[in-house]
Amino acid sequence: MTLPASGLAAADLAVVVADGDPLSEAAGAAYVAARKVPAANLIRVKVNTASASISAADFSLLKSDIEAKFPAGIQATLLTWAAPSRVTGVCTMGITSAMALGYDTRYCNSTPTTNTCATTAASPLYDSESRRPQTDLQLRPSMLLGATTLDAANALIARGAAADATLPAGDGWLVRTTDASRSVRWADFQGLPAAWGSALQLNYVDNSAGAAAGNSLSGKTNVLFYLTGLTAVDNLSTLQFRPGALADSLTSTGGVLPSGAGQMPITTWLTAGATASYGTVEEPCNLQQKFSRASVLIDQYWRGGTAIEAYWKAVQWPGQGLFVGEPLAQPFRDAPSFAIVNGEYRIKTRSLRPGSLYALQYRLSGGTAWTTLATFTGVRGQVLDGRSPLPPAAAVQIRWQGPCPDNTANICTLAQSA
């Protein structure tokens, strides 16, 4: 039996190129070469890259064109241009959210009015255990490369590739600033350093009562996570981000590219050395569900998810948001193993969901009932290195069970022998 591994692979990703746009063409070719994406997964479409936005009607045609060209098995998409980055209609969606969910006003305006601060429909991918999002949930997460020069694109791609399987220990920075409206995530931030202990070096900084000059980090190295709440983040040029770093700020219009509509655009994080980021493309108000949840983002990444999966699974209401960066960065790549060692099964994986129950079971020849050999519970920041007795000689099948991809409250078979 082979245990399921976390993280999308190059063969799962469609790389979408704006046909005739030199930068998009070159960036797409560079990405396919660097990540060894199958040539059939390179999709060329006509799109106006001179415009920062695309109408909902034109986007519908574009999305249909892209999907008609997919080879079988595509689970996610990378858009290799900087513009358009948003889809406009009654309300505005980030182009990556519209690619995944379709342009639908439920995701950017759930009321009959144009109240963009309203609650919106949730993503079924939020904090899920899906390893095959299109297969499990009929949703392909999407990310925008967002680079405006080929040098920037190449540097971003190189950072993503350099992150793979590096298993960094940290550092993560979770900052509560003097901007109370934009620091509403602090309640999620503050307990994470203790919760992760020595498994990850996380730091919670509470500057809510400090001077404005203390709102932004300065001179830090090995930055793996940087989550904060400001209209603009100072001192980014003094930081050294690790390959695979994820960083974002809770603010209104960071995803309105290229300008940020007067706020710091999320691509500034990429320019500073981060590998992926997220921001919103219209006024979302400070509803936390419309931004990344640190506890989910860090957990999903540490357990082996790629950057695109960790970010998508961390945003509950992503419709007004835009995901940018290198999607396949995977610093905590899982290499699960299932083997017989010294007369017992040895099970190794980092992908177990904290608090969830997993079981190894067997079935006898001619029977339908399954008998449990061993159970394991996921622990935050702990790689499973478990042992189980072997089944009796009359056993004909074994299976590995755990939380279902589409509903973590239910138990599903995650792997099974022939």
pLDDT tens figures, 341-393:
999 999 999 999 999 999 999 999 988 999 999 999 999 999 999 999 999 99
| Cβ contact 31:325 at 8 Å | no
Domain interval for residue 389:
337-416
Answer yes or no: is 87 within a domain. Answer: yes
What mean pLDDT is predicted for residues 300-314? 98
Predicted pLDDT at 110: 63
Residues 28 and 109 in one domain: yes
Tokens 């960066």 map to which residue?
325
* Residue 138 counted as domain residue: yes
Residues 254 and 354 in one domain: no
pLDDT at 115: 76
**Strands (DSSP E) found in 229-320:** 241-249, 276-280
On whether both 276 and 372 belong to a single domain, the answer is no
pLDDT at 195: 97
Q: What pLDDT is attached to residue 116?
A: 77
Mark whether 247 and 356 lie in a shared domain: no
Listed residues 300, 325, 350: the one ending a domain:
325
Residues 297 and 405 in one domain: no
Residue 170 pLDDT class (50, 70, 90 cuts): confident
> Whole-angstrom Cα distance, residue 354 to residue 338?
20
Domain co-membership, 106 together with 148: yes
What's the confidence (pLDDT) of residue 5? Answer: 87
Residue 288 shares a structural domain with residue 378: no
Confidence of residue 111 (pLDDT cuts 50, 70, 90): low
Task: Examine residue 133 and state whether it is found in any structural domain, yes or no.
Answer: yes
Q: Nearest to residue 388, comparing CAs of 361, 364, 368?
A: 361
Residues 319 and 341 occupy one common structural domain: no
Share of the chain above pLDDT 70, in %: 99
pTM attached to this predicted model: 0.97
Mean pLDDT confidence for 149-170? 96
What phi-psi label fits residue 127: left (phi over 0), alpha (psi between -120 and 50 degrees) or beta? left
**Using one digit for the tens of pLDDT, what is the confidence trace for 207-242?**
999 999 999 999 999 999 999 999 999 999 999 999
Domain termination site, one of 292, 325, 358: 325
The reply to whether 153 and 23 lie within a common domain is yes
In the chain, the number of structural domains is 2
Give Cα 224 to chain centroid, integer Å: 14
Q: Closest Cα to residue 94, out of 324, 309, 327?
A: 324
Residues 16 and 155 in one domain: yes
In a domain, 231, yes or no: no
On the question of pLDDT at 75 being above 70, the answer is yes
Last residue of a domain, one of 325, 350, 378: 325
pLDDT tens, 271-280? 999 999 999 9
Is the same domain home to 138 and 247? Answer: yes
Alpha helices (H) along 131-210: 133-137, 150-163, 186-189, 192-196
Q: Answer yes or no: is 180 within a domain.
A: no
Please name which of 77, 49, 42, 83 lies closest in space to residue 63, comparing C-alpha atoms.
Answer: 77
Same domain as 148, residue 105 = yes
* Percent of the chain as helix, strand, coil, to the nearest 5: 25, 25, 45
